[in-house]
Amino acid sequence: MIGDSSADGRSLLGRVRDRLEGPNTIGDSTTFWGAFAVVVAALAVYPQVVGPYTVIQTSRYFALAFLALSLCFIWGYAGVLSFGQVAFFGVAAYVFGIVGINLGSVTGAMVALVAAVVGGTLAAALLGYFMFYGGVRDTYVTIMTLVVALVLNTFMAQTAGSEWAVGEAQLGGFNGMNVPSLAFGIGQSGLVLERAALYYALLVTLVATYLGLRVLVNGSFGMTMVAVREDEARTATFGYDVPFVKLVVFTIGGALAAVGGVFYASWGNYVDPTVFGIGFAALPVVWVSIGGRESLLGAIGATLVIERMRTELSSGIGPVGSEWALVIVGGLLLTVILFMPAGVVPTLDDLADRARSRRTEQSQSTTATEEPVE
Amino acid sequence: MITPTATPLSISGYSLLALFFQFLDSFGFIVLATVGLAIIFGMMGVINLAHGEFILIGVYGTALAYHAGAPLPLGMVAGVIAATAFGVVVERTIVRHFYDRLLDSMVATWGLALVVSQLLLIVFGSSLDSISTPLGNVSYGPYSSSVYSSVLLPAIAVCVLAGLYALFTRTTFGIKARATIEDPETARAMGIDTDRMYVATFAIGSALAGLTGALYAPALGSITPNRGNTFLVEAFVAVVVGGQSVILGTLAASGVLSVFNATGSFLFGTFVGQMLLLLVAIVALRVLPDGITGYVDDWQQRRRAEE
Amino acid sequence: MSTPQDINVRQKPAVAATGGGVDTILATKRLTKNFGGLTAVDGVDFSVDEGEIRCLIGPNGAGKSTLLELITGQLSPSAGDVYFDGHDLTGMDTHARIDTGISVKFQSPHVYENLTVAENLRVPLQRADGDTDGVLAETLDRIALEAKADTGASDLSHGEKQRLEIGMAVTLDPALMLLDEPVAGMSIEETADVANLIRSLHDDGMTFVVVEHDMEFVRQISDRVTVLNQGSIFRQGPIEEIEADEDVRRIYLGENA
C-alpha cells in the first residue's frame, strides 16, 4: 500500500509513486517498478535487435493495446461492458483518413490526428448520452454498442460507389480507404512516423497512457468508478450522478479507442469496414477477459501476446494452420472465463500475494525482526 | 424478396401491395430471427451471443441433409434437431455456470460463437451449395414477391408466437416457467426444479433458432459460415426494443421495426432499411429503457394509480 | 456542503417556515405508490419537524421501506409530492435529493463488499472538500471500526456492516437521516451504541426518520412515533400513547395471528 513510501513522502519520486499506486492497480512494490523499468527499456532497444518485420508487427500490437485499455477502463473499472469499442476506433481511423487525404500535408496529418481523436470521442459521448441518460443498463448497453458497430460495418461496406466521397477521400466500401501516415512538423516537411519512428511514438504514448490511467483509477475518480461498478443504486444515494459518471467514463474510453484507431490506420496506411465487423469487435473482449478486466497491465500484456500468437499462426509458424487461430482464441476465452473469471494477471497477482504472505508469516514466526516484502 | 421494376416512389395499388409484402417479409424475418434469443433472454436474462451460430447450425443441418438426398422438410427437421442438441450441450457445459454473472455469460457465448463459426469453416469449407427457394414468385403489375419468404414464413412466424403463447399460458410447463421467471427462489421453494426449467428453456430457444435456420436455409442464397450475422442485428435490436416479455415484446418490436425496415427498404434499399432499424432502436431505448413491454407495465401501473 | 470539520456542529438549515414555533423539514403530500395491483403507499401525508427523531413502525408490508425509497427517489411515486427543507423533491433524481441534505441507510446492509472499510467510507467522503483524512479517522472512531479500517467489508460481521453503513451515511453530514432498521440483527450492546450515536448526532442538530421493529430501541431514541398500516398512516403520537393504543396492538397481533 501507500504506507511504505511514507519515509520518502516528501521526495518527488515518493509523491509520484503515491499518485500511481493504490488499491485499483496491481504492482505497488519497488520490485514491480524495477521490473517495469526493465521491460520498458527492453522494448526501447527491441527494434535494434530484431528485424524490421517484427518491429512493424509489434507496432500494430501497440496500436491495438489502446483498444484493450479502452475496454479495460470502462468494463473493468466502471462495469460498463461494451462490445462496440471498435466503433470509436474505426470512426477515428476513417476521420483520420478523410481529413488527412483532404489536407495532404504534414500539418494536415497533425490536424487529422486531432480531428480523428475528437471525432471518436464525440461519437462515444453521443452514444453514451443516449444510453446512460436513457437509463439503458447492463446487457442492453452491451447489445447497443455491438449493434452500433455492426451497423457502421454495413454502412461503410456499401460506400464503394464514387458518390461516397468526402472531398478527395473516397470511402471505398469493402475495398477500404488509403490513409496517410502520422507526421509531426510544419508544411510539407517534418517527421513522418513510419517503421521505427512509429514504433517509438507508440511505445512512448502507450507507456504515458498506462501511467496516466493508473493515476486516474487510483485517484478519487477511480474510487467513484469502482463505487459505480460495485453498486450503482447505493452510489447514487451518496449524491453521485451515476449517469454522468458513466458518460464521462465512456467518453474517456472512446478517446482511448480513438487514439488506437488513428495509430492503426496510420500504421497500415489503410482502413476498411472490417474494423467495425463482428470478428474484430470480438478481439478487445478476448484480450481484456484473458488479461484481466481489472488490470490495465493485463489488458496490454494479453493484447501483445494474443496478437503475436495470431500473427505467427497466420504466417504458418506453429503446429496448426492459420484457420485454427480463431478457434484457439475463442477456446482460450471460454477457458479463462470459466476457470479464471478475473483473468490471468489478477489471478497470478493473487497467487503471488498469497505466496508472499505465507512467506511473511513464516519469517515472522522464525525471525520477528524481518520486514515484510512490501 | 421484391423486385421493383417501376420507379418505386409512384404510389399505386401495386406499390402499396408490394410494400405490404415487403412488410410481411420483414416481419417474418424479425420475428423468427428474434424469438429464440428472446425466449432465453426473457426467461433467464442471458443474451446468447452465439445466437447467430445456433441459427447457422440449423442452416447447415438442413443443407447437409438436403444435399445428402433428404427431402427439404426432412432436412429442416434435421436442422432443428441439430441445433436443439447443440443447445442442450452448451447449456450443460457452459451457460449454467453464468446464471449469476450475466455480463460474463455474454463474453462466454461470444467465445463460443467464434469457435463454432470458425469450426464450420474448417470442416465444411467456405460455402455449401445453395438450396433453391420453393413455391416460386407471385407477380402483380410491375412487381413480384416470393411466396415462400413473403407469405409462408410470416405465417409460420405468427404460428410460432401463437404456439409459444399457448405453451406459456395453457400448460403446466408454462406456469412453472413463468413462476421461475417471476421469482426463482420461491419457485424452488414450491418444488419446481428450476435447473431443469433452465435447460428446457435453453433447449426451446435453441430449437427455435434451429427452426429459423432451417426455414431460411432455402432463402439465403449462398450458405457460408458468417451467415449467422445476417440475423444478429435484427434479433438484438428487436430484443432490446421489445423488452423482457417474450411473446408480447417480440410481437410488438417486430411489428414496429418491420414497418420502418420495410418502408425504408422499399423506398431506398435494404441499407436504409437497416439504418432506420438502428435509429428507431436508439430512439426507442432513449424513451423506453425497459423496452416496449416495460413501458406497457409501467403505464398499466400508472392507470391503476389514477383510478 | 458544509466542511467536514463541523460534522458535530452543523448549522441550522434554512427551512421553509410553516408557521408556529417549529419548522417542518420533511413533508409528503398524498404520496402514493402502486406495484401492479398492490398499493404499497396510499395517499400518505407524512411530515417531520426539524430536529426530531421520528420512528416509523408498522407490520410487515405496511409500506415503511417504500415510503423511504419514495423520499430518496429510488422509487418514483404513482402520485403525490415530496418536500424537504424548502425543496420540491418530486421528480428529482436520487443524487440531487441527496445533495439537498438527505442521507439514507438501507434495510439490509448495503456496503461495497469488495472494498475495505476505509475505502467504503471514502466513497461518500471524497465528495466533501477539506480534511477528509480527519473526518475518516473521526468516523472510524465513532462507529468503532478503527482496528478494521483495512479489512474487506465482506469480512465484517452483520453488526459491523450496519455500523459501517451508518458511518457512510453520517459522513455526508446530512440535515435529515433516513435509517431503515439500523439495529436489525445487532446485539444489545451494539444496539445501545447505535442509540448513543443517534442521540449524539441529534444533539448536533440532525433530524432522523427511523424505521424500526425493536420497540425497546424505539423507546431509547424517539419521542414521536408514526404507525403505518396497509400503506396509510394509522396512528401518530408520543411513544407512550402508541404503546398503550389497543388498535395498534391489534394490527400487530392480527399480522402475527
Please report the DSSP string for A318-372 in residue order.
SSS-GGGHHHHHHHHHHHHHHH-TT-HHHHHHHHHHHHHHHHHHHHHHH-TTPPP
CB-closest option in C95, C103, C114 to A240: C95
Report the C-alpha gap between C236 and C213 in whole angstroms: 16
Which class for B26: exposed (0-12), middle (13-18), buried (19 or more C-beta within 10 A)? buried
Q: Does B237 touch chain A (CB under 8 A)?
A: yes
CATH (domain of C242): 3.40.50.300
Report the C-alpha gap between B116 and B111 in whole angstroms: 9
Amino acid at B47: I
Nearest CA in chain B to A330: B111
Residue A357's alpha-carbon distances to A350, A364, A369, C225, in angstroms, are 11, 10, 15, 52
In a domain, C40, yes or no: no
pLDDT tens, residue by residue, C146-173: 888 888 898 988 888 888 988 898 888 8
Q: Does A211 touch chain C (CB under 8 A)?
A: no
Query: Which residue has 483495512 as its cell numbers?
Result: C150
State chain B's mean pLDDT as an integer. Answer: 82
In three-state secondary structure terms, C38 is: strand
- Determine whether the interchain pair B118/A323 forms a contact, defined as Cβ–Cβ distance below 8 Å: yes
In a domain, C63, yes or no: yes
Q: Does A344 touch chain C (CB under 8 A)?
A: no
Spatial contact of A184 and A200, defined as CB atoms under 8 Å apart: no
Interface probe for C, chosen from B303, B304, B306 (most Cβ of C below 10 Å), is B304
Residue B168's alpha-carbon distances to B177, B234, B282, C23, in angstroms, are 7, 24, 30, 56
- Chain A residues whose CB is inside 8 A of the B232 CB are 150, 278
Q: Does B244 touch chain A (CB under 8 A)?
A: no
Residues 11-30 of A with CB under 8 A from C: 23
Helix (H) or strand (E) holding B260: helix B246-268
Amino acid at A98: I
Mean local confidence (pLDDT), C88-96: 89
In a domain, C202, yes or no: yes
Report the C-alpha gap between B52 and B213 in whole angstroms: 9
Q: At what angle do helices A52-71 and A278-291 cross, to 10 degrees?
A: 80
Nearest CA in chain A to C108: A234
Task: Inform me whether the pLDDT recorded for C16 exceeds 70.
Answer: no
In a domain, C4, yes or no: no
| C neighbour chains, 3+ CB pairs within 8 Å | A, B
Report the C-alpha gap between C79 and A257 in whole angstroms: 45
In three-state secondary structure terms, A147 is: helix
Report the C-alpha gap between B253 and A34 in whole angstroms: 57
Q: Nearest 5 degrees, angle CA B227-CA B231-CA B233?
A: 120
Q: Strand pairing partners for C34?
A: C39
| B neighbour chains, 3+ CB pairs within 8 Å | A, C
CB-closest option in A220, A230, A234 to C114: A230
- Determine whether the interchain pair C127/A240 forms a contact, defined as Cβ–Cβ distance below 8 Å: yes
Helix (H) or strand (E) holding A117: helix A106-133
What is the number of other CB atoms lying within 10 angstroms of the CB of residue C49?
17
Q: Would you state the cell numbers that stand for residue B211, as one nine-digit string? A: 427452426
Q: Strand pairing partners for C233?
A: C228
Q: Nearest 5 degrees, angle CA C75-CA C80-CA C85?
A: 85
Mean local confidence (pLDDT), C68-88: 89
Q: Which of A93-107, B51-65, B244-258 has the lowest mean pLDDT?
A: B244-258
In three-state secondary structure terms, A165 is: strand
Q: Which residue has the higher pLDDT, B55 or C160?
A: B55
Q: Does C129 touch chain A (CB under 8 A)?
A: no
Interface probe for C, chosen from A224, A232, A237 (most Cβ of C below 10 Å), is A237
Strands C47-49 and C24-35: antiparallel
Q: Does B194 touch chain A (CB under 8 A)?
A: no
In a domain, C61, yes or no: yes
Report the C-alpha gap between B67 and B130 in whole angstroms: 9
Q: What residue spans of A50-105 are helical by DSSP H?
A: 52-71, 78, 85-103
Spatial contact of C173 and C2, defined as CB atoms under 8 Å apart: yes
Q: How far apart are the first and last CA of chain C?
A: 48
Report the C-alpha gap between C242 and C59 in whole angstroms: 14
Report the C-alpha gap between A261 and A87 in whole angstroms: 9
Q: Would you state the cell numbers that stand for residue A195, as one nine-digit string? A: 517503421
Spatial contact of C41 and C66, defined as CB atoms under 8 Å apart: yes
Nearest CA in chain C to A224: C123
Interface probe for A, chosen from C2, C95, C136 (most Cβ of A below 10 Å), is C95
Per-residue pLDDT of chain A (374 residues; tens, 9 = 90+): 444 444 444 577 788 888 888 888 887 788 888 999 999 999 999 998 988 889 999 999 999 999 999 999 999 999 999 999 999 999 999 999 999 989 888 888 889 999 999 999 999 999 999 889 887 777 888 888 988 898 888 888 888 888 888 888 888 888 889 888 888 877 667 777 878 889 999 999 999 999 999 999 998 899 999 999 999 988 998 999 999 999 999 999 999 999 999 999 999 999 999 999 888 998 999 999 999 999 999 999 999 999 998 888 877 665 667 778 888 888 989 999 888 888 888 888 888 888 887 777 776 665 544 444 43
Query: Which residue has 476506433 as its cell numbers?
Result: A89
Mean local confidence (pLDDT), C179-190: 85
CA dihedral (A301, A303, A306, A312) positive or negative: negative
Q: Does C127 touch chain A (CB under 8 A)?
A: yes
Strands C224-229 and C232-238: antiparallel
Of B244, B235, B233, the C-alpha closest to B278 is: B233
Q: Which residue has the higher pLDDT, A363 or C182?
A: C182
pLDDT bracket for residue B246 (50, 70, 90): confident
Task: Inform me whether the pLDDT recorded for C1 exceeds 70.
Answer: no
Min CA distance, C229 vs chain B (Å)? Answer: 19
Task: Please give the radius of gyration of chain B, using alpha carbons only, rounded to the nearest integer.
Answer: 20
Q: Would you state the cell numbers that stand for residue C133, as one nine-digit string? A: 483524512
pLDDT bracket for residue B300 (50, 70, 90): low
Interface probe for A, chosen from C89, C123, C132, C133 (most Cβ of A below 10 Å), is C123
Q: Nearest 5 degrees, angle CA A103-CA A107-CA A113?
A: 80
Nearest CA in chain B to A135: B289
Q: What residue spans of B132-219 are helical by DSSP H?
A: 147, 153-170, 172-182, 184-189, 194-216
In three-state secondary structure terms, A21 is: coil
Nearest CA in chain B to A325: B118
Of B46, B35, B32, the C-alpha closest to B199 is: B46
Residues 161-180 of C with CB under 8 A from A: 168, 172
Task: Inform me whether the pLDDT recorded for B223 exceeds 60.
Answer: yes
Residue range of the domain that includes C187: 51-76+90-253
Q: Nearest 5 degrees, angle CA A277-CA A283-CA A286?
A: 145
Return phi, psi of residue B80, to 5°.
Answer: -65, -45
Report the C-alpha gap between C131 and C138 in whole angstroms: 11
Report the C-alpha gap between A229 and A294 in whole angstroms: 11
- Determine whether the interchain pair C94/A223 forms a contact, defined as Cβ–Cβ distance below 8 Å: no
Nearest CA in chain C to A233: C74
With 0.95 as the threshold, say if the pTM is over it. Answer: no
- Determine whether the interchain pair C79/B301 forms a contact, defined as Cβ–Cβ distance below 8 Å: no
- Determine whether the interchain pair B305/C37 forms a contact, defined as Cβ–Cβ distance below 8 Å: no
Q: How many residues are recorded in chain B?
A: 307
- Chain C residues whose CB is inside 8 A of the B305 CB are 32-34, 39, 78-79
What is the number of other CB atoms lying within 10 angstroms of the CB of residue A177?
24
- Determine whether the interchain pair C32/B305 forms a contact, defined as Cβ–Cβ distance below 8 Å: yes
Query: Which residue has 449524539 as its cell numbers?
Result: C200
Domain ranges of chain B: 2-306
Residues 209-238 of C with CB under 8 A from A: none
Q: Which residue has the higher pLDDT, B53 or B288?
A: B53
How many Cα neighbours within 13 Å face the side chain of A115? Answer: 18
Domain count, chain C: 1
Kindly provide the ipTM of the predicted complex, given to two decimals. Answer: 0.82
Spatial contact of B61 and B81, defined as CB atoms under 8 Å apart: yes
Nearest CA in chain C to B300: C36
- Chain A residues whose CB is inside 8 A of the C116 CB are 23
Report the C-alpha gap between C133 and A341 in whole angstroms: 35
Amino acid at A297: L
pLDDT bracket for residue B80 (50, 70, 90): very high
In a domain, C44, yes or no: no
In a domain, C114, yes or no: yes
Report the C-alpha gap between C92 and A222 in whole angstroms: 26
Task: Inform me whether the pLDDT recorded for B305 exceeds 70.
Answer: no
Q: Nearest 5 degrees, angle CA C174-CA C175-CA C181?
A: 70
Spatial contact of B229 and B50, defined as CB atoms under 8 Å apart: no
CA dihedral (B278, B282, B285, B287) positive or negative: negative
